[in-house]
Structure 1
Amino acid sequence: MPSIRAPASKQTATLQVAVKCRPLTDSERRRSRHIIQVIDDKNVVVLDPDLSKDYLELIQNRTKERRYSFDHVYAPGCSNADVYKNISSTIAGVVQGLNATVFAYGSTGSGKTYTMVGTHSDPGLMVLSFRTIFDLVKKDDSKDTFEVSCSYLEVYNEVIYDLLEKSSGHLELREDPEHGIMVAGLRSIKVHSADKILELLNIGNSRRKTESTEANSTSSRSHAVLEITVKRKQKGQYGSQVLRGKLALVDLAGSERASETNNSGQKLRDGANINRSLLALANCINALGKQNKKGLAYVPYRNSKLTRILKDGLSGNSRTVMVATVSPADDQYHHTTNTLKYADRAKEIKTHVHKNIGHLDTHVEDYKRMIDNLQVEVSRLKMELAEKEHQLSVKPTEKAADNELSWLNILSQETGENVQERINLQKALFELEETNKRNRMELQHLDDAIARQQVNDKDSAVLQALTSRRQVILDNIRDNDEAGY
């Protein structure tokens, strides 16, 4: 009995963390001190601006400096192109069927949107990324065909909107067994050039919620996610293998203090929702950091729609880059140290990367391979039949010919039945594999639900029902595994 093919091998990747320090603004130069020192391309020092703590250095032999090490550190004079040089290889993997996530993290006014979107003279990581994708597609010398599509959404006050729709309604998150977290009703547009994506990006940004606050004249009030999907069809006899790479480019809204922004009314409520979703993201980063250091830990992805959308980028099938943006002004010391603290913890996060090969297309490929083998066998049998017919034409007696024809008819019938039985057996194996995939997906969801219930109420009836259902699914998986061998 033929064995079911194993899934694509996974590789463990560590989340790549970079820190980008913006220059002081003109107003900050007049009223603020510079508290960040970039030692080299991997180390940064933050100075505590509180002069009342100077006694620590004199009396307790303690330093007020906070030192951090990251994969990359960029001084205020660095451009977005300098940042992109070190992450371009991650972007290039999307054309080969790998997932990638790039997001900027930091407080309001620290330079997140500038880093992700940029300007005409200094394009951001979003623009540089999709230019790279189309350059690679253009230079590809294989006979593969490429299909590139993009979508653009924002999460505003825990509601998802489509930035490529003029009057978008509220969109809902759905969990697909094969593709993971998806946004139902989100528009995906096929594009044929980097300029077209840039046009869509500009349209989406014009619809994005921004406000002027005392901390930032154009503060982003929503989290924006630009997703680019590259479908690569590898040409063969049947053109059956399809690689699907996905690039998620995330521009987060910035955390803020009401005392700094002097917001009130709707702006104040917006700020509270922004802080709540960013706190959920920070809690996920904390839990994932502990998980990789100490073992199993519950990760609260469901506390925010933002964290559910970023789930793959934080712990799933994705090569992920986090760019922590910080301000060097002394009045931003609290925000700067918080950002660097979470960036330091994010270094411990690991993801599991593998190429995305569509399950349906893979099964079609299996069917085609099976048909090829059967066609070879049919050709061989036809040759045997032709040889027997030739032998019959030279036999002297009609009785001998009748006996041979009868034997050939029986052989032909048995061969046909054998071929059909093998086809039915292959189909049954594929159906069994699909059932097991659905069972394992449900088992994962049940484990997550049981973990949440155990935190809240260990003796609840819901926990008992979930546990019973989990046992049923385990029994089904065991029975299916036994049937497959």
Structure 2
Amino acid sequence: MPSIKAPATKQAATLTVAVKCRPLTKKEQQKGRDIVQVKDDKEVTLLDPDLSKDYLDRVQNRTKERKYSFDYAFGPDCTNLDVYKTSISSKISGVVQGLNAAIFAYGSTGSGKTYTMVGTEGDSGLMVLSLHTIFDLIKSDTSSDDFEVTCSYLEVYNEVIYDLLEKSSGHLELREDPQEGIVVAGLRCIKVHSADKILELLNLGNSRRKMESTDANATSSRSHAVLEITVRRKQRNQYRNHIVCGKLALVDLAGSERASETNCRGQKLRDGANINRSLLALANCINALGKQRKKGLAYVPYRNSKLTRILKDGLSGNSQTIMIATISPANNQYHHTVNTLKYADRAKEIKTHIQTNIGTVDIHVADYQKMIDSLQIEVFRLKKELAEKESKLSVKPNEKAIDDQLSWLDVLSRETNESVQERINLQKALFELEEINLRNRIELQHLDDKITNEQAIGKDGTILQALRERRQVILDNIRDNDEAGASYQKEIEANEKHFCQLQDMIEKAISNNSNKTYLHILNQYRLLEMANTELQFEMAIRDQVIHNQREMQRNLWNLIMGLGIDERQIMKLAFEQGITIEDWTVTPLWGLSSMK
């Protein structure tokens, strides 16, 4: 029979971030040094890779050293089992109880992502350890529940989805189901009865996965792989049968890379560009989700990549999510390491909302329970109304008259205040969309110039194709943002119309009331409070715009000064034109009169 979703209580949870540092290779030990230090299993210090500082850098204390703090931090001596026991095992046990969990590894190519997720015979990876834990929990369960475990394995290669459990898989499409969320149409799900069977399927899928050798990594993953384990648990009791469904998503991301380091050409170069593009889309989603926690409403561009759509639930939906950031301690990998740590630091701000996934069978029993629930709600409502009427009878006549006069004003004032807050949130979201579109249009102009230059000099067509594909992605983003902005604008206009209607209702009610003067003064006071809130929001927006303009102005002056033009001549010309150069103190402006 069809299943019905049972109500469940949502709980807020924060995305867990762990950093794992691999040891130096023999080749790196000969050429470089270790620049990563882990302290108290939480703090990561990234040392300055450049030991030859000149005198000015030492005097001004200029350094590239960075410090970060995470939920967990693991040094080069830690094994995959240490990472699993400390940060992951507690989340895996929830999958058998109907909770969703997601584990994904992020890092540059060669930093140890695949080793961390898959592992070796001597050091099993997080995927292997998680699978053994799930089946151990099922075996040790003493209840009479029935368990069913299924698994699927896919890869995202060049923005195309393939089924790794099919010998010759075709292109698969993403679909959005109103109940299940984002699903991959046609993806094969296999029923399994042991962890060894899943490991056999995992090895089979890895043998079909796109792997290549580069100068940065002998076995570089050229695609993102997602292994999903679904555990369905059928519970029986005297009233109904429950189906509790928990999902575990294990994601091995391809590594970010630079073409100058991998020396890739042709198809490998295109693969690297697509990898970096999808990881950039993931970074934009993480940035937006971090802003959402700090500022409230924010647009999250999940549709920019198929990878971000697949990971949507794991990043912000119903899931306990753990991000494993893998880093290299080599000094020549400093720029990759600091980018990964920044990435992981932003991810700490993301919050998810988890709940147990409970379904029910035996539809006629569910109907009876629904009738009982509705009757209980009706009884509660009637009891509440009875209690309110009894309390009104006990109120003194004078107090009752005053309450009757002010109750309608309180209700309308509360609705007006909610309308103002809603408009502020909409205006804030519209402002952020406009900023994103401005950056998109700047990048679009830059790409158009680059495409024109490439066509003029007649370079390789593959580079032009990659630039055109990126241009199309930006155009799609601009179109989506424009549509969202138009929708926000319509909502703002509807909100303002509703606000005017509420004010008309208040004015009519005041004119029909005996105590007009008092009510009018009280209403004006509340309107002033709302106007003050809107004014503070507008001032904050204008301050942000002024800050952006000043930053742009400072960057322009720094660019002009960096062209080698004489500084005193620039300062003199600026003084004659009445232009103030901010953040430049080479020559005081009052001393320029002697130059004339």
The two structures share one fold, judged by TM-score above 0.5: yes
Matching of residues 85-484 of structure 1 within 5 Å: 85-86=85-86, 87-237=88-238, 240-358=241-359, 361=361, 365-367=365-367, 369=369, 456=478, 463=486
Larger RCO (alpha carbons 8 Å, 6+ apart) = 1
Residues 153, 225 of structure 2: 8 Å contact kept: yes
Secondary structure (helix, strand or coil) at the match of 1:148 reads strand
Identity %: 73
**Cα offset, 1:371, TM superposition:** 9.9
What one-letter code is carried by the residue in structure 2 that aligns with 1:116? M
Residues 299, 433 of structure 2: 8 Å contact kept: no
**Distance (Å, rounded) in 1 between the aligned partners of 2:213 and 2:155:** 18
**Cα offset, 1:61, TM superposition:** 3.4
Q: Which residue of 2 aligns with 1:19?
A: 19
**Cα offset, 1:48, TM superposition:** 1.8
**Distance (Å, rounded) in 1 between the aligned partners of 2:247 and 2:311:** 13
**Cα offset, 1:63, TM superposition:** 4.3
Pick closer, same or farther for the CA change 1:42–1:146 going to 2, 3 Å: same
Secondary structure (helix, strand or coil) at the match of 2:343 reads helix
Q: Structure 1 residues 316-325 or 38-47, which shifts more?
A: 38-47
Residues 240, 364 of structure 1: 8 Å contact kept: no
**Cα offset, 1:366, TM superposition:** 1.4
**Distance (Å, rounded) in 2 between the aligned partners of 1:171 and 1:55:** 59
Q: Structure 1 residues 48-57 or 10-19, which shifts more?
A: 48-57
Q: Which residue of 2 aligns with 1:44?
A: 44
**Cα offset, 1:40, TM superposition:** 2.2
Secondary structure (helix, strand or coil) at the match of 1:150 reads strand
Could you give the per-residue CA deviations for residues 336-388 of structure 1, whole angstroms, max 9, x where no partner exists? 00000010110110000001113x64855413647999xxxxxxxxxxxxxxx
**Cα offset, 1:464, TM superposition:** 6.3
Pick closer, same or farther for the CA change 1:225–1:6 going to 2, 3 Å: closer
**Distance (Å, rounded) in 2 between the aligned partners of 1:464 and 1:66:** 42
Could you give the per-residue CA deviations for residues 319-348 of structure 1, whole angstroms, max 9, x where no partner exists? 000000000011110000000001011011
Residues 95, 232 of structure 1: 8 Å contact kept: yes
Q: Structure 1 residues 230-239 or 265-274, which shifts more?
A: 230-239
**Cα offset, 1:32, TM superposition:** 1.6
What one-letter code is carried by the residue in structure 1 that aligns with 2:125? G
**Distance (Å, rounded) in 2 between the aligned partners of 1:6 and 1:243:** 10
**Cα offset, 1:27, TM superposition:** 1.1
**Cα offset, 1:297, TM superposition:** 1.1
**Distance (Å, rounded) in 2 between the aligned partners of 1:151 and 1:354:** 23
Q: Which runs of 5+ in 2 are unaligned?
A: 374-425, 438-477, 495-596
Q: Structure 1 residues 203-212 or 51-60, which shifts more?
A: 51-60
**Cα offset, 1:7, TM superposition:** 2.9
Two-structure CA RMSD over aligned residues (Å): 2.7
Q: Which residue of 2 aligns with 1:405?
A: none
Could you give the per-residue CA deviations for residues 166-194 of structure 1, whole angstroms, max 9, x where no partner exists? 00000000000001000000000000000
Aligned residues: 390
Pick closer, same or farther for the CA change 1:70–1:364 going to 2, 3 Å: farther
Instruction: Indicate yes or no: 2:61 matched with 1:61.
Output: yes
Secondary structure (helix, strand or coil) at the match of 1:152 reads strand
**Distance (Å, rounded) in 2 between the aligned partners of 1:124 and 1:5:** 35
Q: Which residue of 1 aligns with 2:29?
A: 29
**Cα offset, 1:19, TM superposition:** 0.3
What one-letter code is carried by the residue in structure 2 that aligns with 1:179? E
**Distance (Å, rounded) in 1 between the aligned partners of 2:484 and 2:154:** 38
**Distance (Å, rounded) in 1 between the aligned partners of 2:349 and 2:25:** 33
What one-letter code is carried by the residue in structure 1 that aligns with 2:255? G
Q: Which residue of 2 aligns with 1:78?
A: 78
The structure in which a higher percent of residues are helix is 2
Residues 48, 63 of structure 2: 8 Å contact kept: no
Secondary structure (helix, strand or coil) at the match of 1:51 reads coil
**Cα offset, 1:126, TM superposition:** 0.4
Pick closer, same or farther for the CA change 1:460–1:15 going to 2, 3 Å: closer
Q: Which residue of 2 aligns with 1:420?
A: none
Residues 145, 235 of structure 1: 8 Å contact kept: no
Pick closer, same or farther for the CA change 1:297–1:372 going to 2, 3 Å: closer
Pick closer, same or farther for the CA change 1:235–1:118 going to 2, 3 Å: same
Residues 53, 64 of structure 1: 8 Å contact kept: no
Residues 5, 358 of structure 2: 8 Å contact kept: no
**Distance (Å, rounded) in 1 between the aligned partners of 2:188 and 2:6:** 33
Pick closer, same or farther for the CA change 1:97–1:119 going to 2, 3 Å: same
Residues 14, 350 of structure 1: 8 Å contact kept: yes
Secondary structure (helix, strand or coil) at the match of 1:336 reads helix
Pick closer, same or farther for the CA change 1:239–1:134 going to 2, 3 Å: farther
Pick closer, same or farther for the CA change 1:258–1:142 going to 2, 3 Å: same
Secondary structure (helix, strand or coil) at the match of 1:61 reads coil
What one-letter code is carried by the residue in structure 1 that aligns with 2:272? G
**Distance (Å, rounded) in 1 between the aligned partners of 2:74 and 2:370:** 55
Pick closer, same or farther for the CA change 1:276–1:364 going to 2, 3 Å: farther
Q: Which residue of 2 aligns with 1:432?
A: none
**Distance (Å, rounded) in 1 between the aligned partners of 2:484 and 2:14:** 39
**Distance (Å, rounded) in 2 between the aligned partners of 1:146 and 1:466:** 50
**Distance (Å, rounded) in 1 between the aligned partners of 2:333 and 2:232:** 43
**Distance (Å, rounded) in 2 between the aligned partners of 1:24 and 1:339:** 17
**Cα offset, 1:237, TM superposition:** 3.8
TM-score when normalising by structure 1: 0.76
Secondary structure (helix, strand or coil) at the match of 2:17 reads strand
What one-letter code is carried by the residue in structure 2 that aligns with 1:328? P
**Distance (Å, rounded) in 1 between the aligned partners of 2:167 and 2:267:** 23
**Cα offset, 1:54, TM superposition:** 5.8
**Distance (Å, rounded) in 2 between the aligned partners of 1:303 and 1:355:** 29
**Distance (Å, rounded) in 2 between the aligned partners of 1:183 and 1:20:** 31
Secondary structure (helix, strand or coil) at the match of 2:215 reads coil
**Distance (Å, rounded) in 2 between the aligned partners of 1:346 and 1:461:** 25
Residues 24, 328 of structure 2: 8 Å contact kept: yes
Residues 233, 239 of structure 1: 8 Å contact kept: no
**Distance (Å, rounded) in 2 between the aligned partners of 1:62 and 1:461:** 44
Residues 56, 63 of structure 1: 8 Å contact kept: no
Secondary structure (helix, strand or coil) at the match of 2:358 reads coil
**Cα offset, 1:50, TM superposition:** 2.2
Secondary structure (helix, strand or coil) at the match of 1:168 reads coil
Could you give the per-residue CA deviations for residues 9-57 of structure 1, whole angstroms, max 9, x where no partner exists? 1000000000000011111111121111112200111012123546566
**Distance (Å, rounded) in 2 between the aligned partners of 1:144 and 1:460:** 49
**Distance (Å, rounded) in 1 between the aligned partners of 2:270 and 2:180:** 34
Q: Which runs of 5+ in 1 are unaligned?
A: 374-446, 472-485
**Distance (Å, rounded) in 1 between the aligned partners of 2:357 and 2:56:** 54
Residues 148, 228 of structure 1: 8 Å contact kept: yes
Secondary structure (helix, strand or coil) at the match of 2:137 reads helix
Residues 453, 463 of structure 1: 8 Å contact kept: no
**Distance (Å, rounded) in 2 between the aligned partners of 1:159 and 1:348:** 30
**Distance (Å, rounded) in 2 between the aligned partners of 1:237 and 1:38:** 54
